[in-house]
Structure formats: C-alpha cells, structure tokens
Structure 1
C-alpha cells in the first residue's frame, strides 16, 4: 500500500517519537510505501529513516519554499508549487492515510481529507494514531458533530482512531 502519513516536522518528546518509530518500522517491514511531506526534519525525518531502514519505499512530496528541508534518501521526490497542490498530491498518491501527532499543518491536512471524504471525493481509509491521547479533543469534537447531525455520513465511515502503531496498521490493512 501507499500510505500517506501526516505528522509534525518538529523534534518532539520520546513519548511521541517512539510510537512513530514503531509505526515506521511496521510500515517498512510490511513492504509498504511511505508517502509524506518529504522533509528530513523532526518526526517526518524519523519516520522516513525508520521506513527506509525496515525496507520500505519513500515518496516525498514537498513544496518549493521548503526545498532546503527535503529528505535526501527518498526514492521519489516531488516538488509542488504550494501547500494546496502538495495536499492534493499526498491524497492522490495514497491508498490509505494515517495521522500522527502534529501541529497546524497536520490539522489542516486531516480536516481537508475528512471534508473530501465526507463528500465522497475519496473512500480511502483514514486512521489517527492517537499517541498519548493527543487527538482526544479532535475526537470529542468529531463525535459531537456526528451526534448532533453535522455530518452527512456516520463518523465511523470517515475515520478510525488507534491507540497503538500495530492497531493503526491493522485498521488500514483491514479496510483496504
């Protein structure tokens, strides 16, 4: 599978990096391809290193203004004109999507992917690896939207949450 992963480009505490490294190892060992933001920085770089070391393939999709942060060991590196084109390519190249811990960019990516899925613009599995309950607030908000009729489809059709890396990968493989 081509698995697009949205995550932080910042260096983070081990409570976040250890599960990300384990997910990367599982992804690579499973023969999957990582499709990601193409950066060597922070969690993005750790993820790419782990996938590559475990035998997986790397497809980076960066943007021109971040060219100085691109990962040099990618099997394929695409330079998008802007963030909108980057997001479109990250989705287009994906068989499935995973969200790891991240900031505003990650939140922007996941909400766009969910909006497109809500409108049946894609049917790719979306899984959040909810390390340390990082996305508890997002999950609560999405559940409220679902319960109060703000979603035209059941939330369970749009997204899944996993507590552990192996569970996240299993959910992707089950739904794909």
Structure 2
C-alpha cells in the first residue's frame, strides 16, 4: 500500500512525538508499504521518512515550493515532488495514496485529516484512515465530534469512517483491513426540515 502520513513539522514539540513518528516509519517499512509524506526533513515529518527509508521503504515527499526552504525539503526522498501551492500538495498526496495515517500534529495536520475524513464520509473515496494517538492529544477532537453528532451536525458514519488507535501496530492493522463501504444516502447531503 501507499500510505500517506500526516504529521507535525514543528520543532517545538516533545521528543516523544518524533520518536512515535520514527516508530511508524519503521513499521511501515517492515510491512512493505510505500510512504507518502509532506516532503520535509524537520520534526515528525523528517523522522517518519528517515525511518521508513532506513527500513528499505520507497518514500515520496510532496512539498509546495514556498515551503522548500522553510521546512527544508527532503532531498533524500526516493521521489521529491515540488508543487505550486498547498492545495496542489494535498491533491498530489491524496492521488498518490491508498490509505491515510494521522499522527499527532497541529493545524496543518488537522486540515489534512478533515479533508480526507469528510471525503470518506461523503463516499468520495474508500481509502482507510487511522488516527494514531497513544497520548490522547486528539481526545478533545473526539469529544467535539461526539458533541456535533449529539447536536445533529453529524451522523454516526463519521466514526465508521475512521479508526482511532493507540499503538503503531493497531494503526497499521486498521489500514490493512479492507475498507468499509459507507454508502452515503441523500440524507447525508440534505438539511433536515426545522
């Protein structure tokens, strides 16, 4: 599988998050997958790519031109794709991927997560998605999603579209299982009458 990993490029995070990214990269390689990532050498993004390559994995880095110097482009990638902007970066990462693994991250990681999660809920793709969160960073997000569900802003399928995992092995096991077809209905696209 070609697995896209969304994660942090921040240098201000706890070292444990970087180690988690390296563990994920090593497991990806051990299982014989290809890595698609944000194409930077810094923080978690760099750690996952280096570990994947050290394990023999093919790595594809996708980075927008404006961030080549800021995030320090991963010139050691098997393939380094430089895009015009962030929108084309995400499109290229999506196009090249069969599954998505979300590690702890910030605003950019959340944006990437929400885009692929929404598309999966709407039936626009069937690629599996797993959040790997051993330390509970995304617990408030999960609670927010439950609140949106309770308030009628979401349907239960939002939880069917994603795997919430706490170990590297559990995350990859989820991604390797056949994706569940969500079968969106007209109700998913139409607002209920007040």
RMSD: 1.4
Q: Secondary structure at the match of 1:72?
A: coil
For residues 152 and 126 of structure 1, the distance between their equivalents in structure 2, rounded to whole angstroms, comes to 17
TM-superposed CA distance for 1:124, in Å, is: 0.7
Structure showing greater radius of gyration is: 2
| Residue 160 (1) aligns with residue 163 (2) | yes
- The TM-score with structure 2 as length reference comes to 0.85
The offset of 1:156, in angstroms, is 2.9
TM-score normalized with structure 1 length: 0.94
Q: 1:101 aligns with which of 99, 104, 110?
A: 104
Q: Which moved more, 1:81-90 or 1:9-18?
A: 9-18
What secondary structure is seen at the aligned counterpart in 1 of 2:32? coil
Structure with bigger helix share is 1
Give the number of aligned pairs: 176
Match of 1:84 in 2: 87
SS at match of 1:51: helix
* Cross-structure match for 1:3: 3
Q: Using CA pairs below 8 Å that are at least 6 residues apart, which structure has the higher relative contact order?
A: 1
State the secondary structure of the residue aligned to 2:75: coil
CA distance in 2, matches of 1:175, 1:5: 18
3-state secondary structure, aligned to 2:135: helix
Contact 2:59 2:79 in 1 (8 A): yes
Q: Counterparts in 2 of 1:1-176, with a 5 A limit?
A: 1-11=1-11, 12-68=13-69, 69-152=72-155, 154-176=157-179
Q: Which ranges of structure 1 fall in alignment gaps of 5 or more residues?
A: none
Of 107-116 and 152-161, more deviation after overlay is shown by 152-161
Structure 2 unaligned runs (5+)?
180-194
Does the 8 Å CA contact 1:143/1:155 hold for their aligned counterparts? no
